[in-house]
Amino acid sequence: MRRPLGARGLRILALNWRCPRHPQAGGSEANLFEQARRWAADGNAVTVFCADPGRKHAPERDEIVDGVRVIRRGGRFTVYLFAALFVLLNARRYDRVLDVANGIPFFAPVFTRKPVVLLVHHVHGPQWYAEFPYPLAAVGWFLERWMVPCLYRREPVIAVSPTTRDALANTGIAQSQIKVVYNGSARPRGPKATTYSGEQRIAYVGRIRRYKRLDRLVRMIPALREGFPDIRLDIAGSGEAAPTIDAVVGSLCLRDHVVMHGFVNEEKKAEILSRAAVFATPSMHEGWGLTVIEANRYGCPAVAYDVPGLRAAIRHGETGLLAQDDADFRGALSLFLEDRDTRRRYSEAAQAWSETFSWDSCAQQTLAIILAAGSAGATIREKTAPEPPPQ
């Protein structure tokens, strides 16, 4: 039985870009809904307002999911306009507003005087220019760099890692406003689909975006194939960069070695992660690395570049390896593919590391901050501070 979260009967409105049914849902959605269903289970009324992916993906536009009311309006960009209107018309029905930033937040303080808490996964910075054409990238960068610090200067801010906290502080948000609350990690559902048996498999499970740089990983396979003729790279997930990655696979004649699975269910994900020798994520930047911790749950060590977020999620030399360049990355992958003893040692440490992260603890810490947001000076109260990072 979970420990009570410390607040009951609170009416919470959460604004998020997407819902878990969205084909491009990722770590942000997992984080919010894992917490929201716990808040609802403990007696709070939780509403999530998000974009509508259409009836193909969400048969009902509005529904109750695990006790959480989900309201879907608008698309990728228009959801922000619909959310502003919804807050203007309905904020009086809620006690608190949780504003989740996916690049840019919903600017809830402009539309309501209700207490607002900002949840930030990562600060994009130069990543805007890797993902969007110049006009949109410039707007996104300006809003994140200048408007967010200005409009949220009096609001509590939650960062998912020290990396995100420090990046937020560099934009001008006061350190006293920011609390770090780590994402949780769910235990594998039921028995593993299989266990690692020495196969030469590399796994990536997550969203497929340009900044994830999966093309780099695919281009490493021909060189790795020279030492590991049976090598296989499993890429599971969806996103706008998927056609580009698929084209790279085809151009390099790697169809027999790289499999694009698309979106997969929990059972297939468990099979992919359990059978892989190593989880690889060549992203240029992350706020934390939820997919890394999830892979660790299945005993899969990780390899990434030494970049913000991932250097916090991976304990270099213990749960995985951080690479400085492409040669380092290939070398790290080779190590796990060829040395089963090393892989086993990292696997055990990775599983132990992942078990220090709990969605119950994450939900409790976030709810305490949301609750305290209604009190003067609540952003700096010690009692709302999250637990220190696992050691």
Residue 384: the pLDDT is 39
pLDDT at 355 over 50: yes
Whether residues 109 and 218 fall in one domain: no
Whether residues 25 and 168 fall in one domain: yes
Domain hosting residue 344, numbered range: 201-354
Q: What is the CATH number of the domain that holds 21?
A: 3.40.50.2000
More confident residue, 382 or 151: 151
Whether residues 236 and 174 fall in one domain: no
Whether residues 301 and 265 fall in one domain: yes
Residue 202 banded pLDDT, cuts 50, 70, 90: very high
Assigned domain for 6 exists: no
pLDDT at 253 over 70: yes
CA angle 345, 214, 229 (to 5 degrees): 60
Whether residues 43 and 161 fall in one domain: yes
Residue 127 banded pLDDT, cuts 50, 70, 90: confident
Residue 6: the pLDDT is 53
pLDDT at 379 over 50: no
Residue 382 banded pLDDT, cuts 50, 70, 90: very low
Whether residues 208 and 344 fall in one domain: yes
Residue 27: the pLDDT is 81
CA angle 35, 234, 248 (to 5 degrees): 115
pLDDT at 188 over 80: no
The predicted model gives 198-218 an average pLDDT of 95
Q: Are strands 68-72 and 62-65 parallel, antiparallel or unpaired?
A: antiparallel
Residue 9 banded pLDDT, cuts 50, 70, 90: confident
Whether residues 205 and 303 fall in one domain: yes
Percent of the chain with pLDDT over 90: 73
Whether residues 107 and 209 fall in one domain: no
Assigned domain for 103 exists: yes
pLDDT in tens, 43-57: 999 999 999 999 998
Asked if 64 and 386 touch (Cβ cutoff 8 Å), the reply is no
Assigned domain for 115 exists: yes
User: What mean pLDDT, rounded, does the chain reach?
Assistant: 90
Assigned domain for 1 exists: no
| DSSP-assigned states of every residue in 217-278 | HHHHHHHHHHH-TT-EEEEE---TTHHHHHHHHHHTT-TTTEEEEES--HHHHHHHHHH-SE
Residue 374: the pLDDT is 77
Assigned domain for 4 exists: no
Assigned domain for 391 exists: no
Sheet holding 278-281, edge to edge: 258-262, 232-236, 201-205, 278-281, 302-305, 320-323
pLDDT in tens, 109-124: 999 999 999 999 988 8
Whether residues 349 and 363 fall in one domain: no
Whether residues 347 and 371 fall in one domain: no
More confident residue, 5 or 36: 36
What six digits make up the tokens of 218? 């695919």
Whether residues 16 and 150 fall in one domain: yes
Of 88-92, 197-201, 347-351, which gets the smallest average pLDDT? 197-201
Assigned domain for 2 exists: no
pTM of the model: 0.81
The predicted model gives 235-255 an average pLDDT of 96
Residue 198: the pLDDT is 87
Assigned domain for 167 exists: yes
Whether residues 40 and 123 fall in one domain: yes
If one counts the domains in the chain, the total is: 2
pLDDT in tens, 153-164: 999 999 999 989
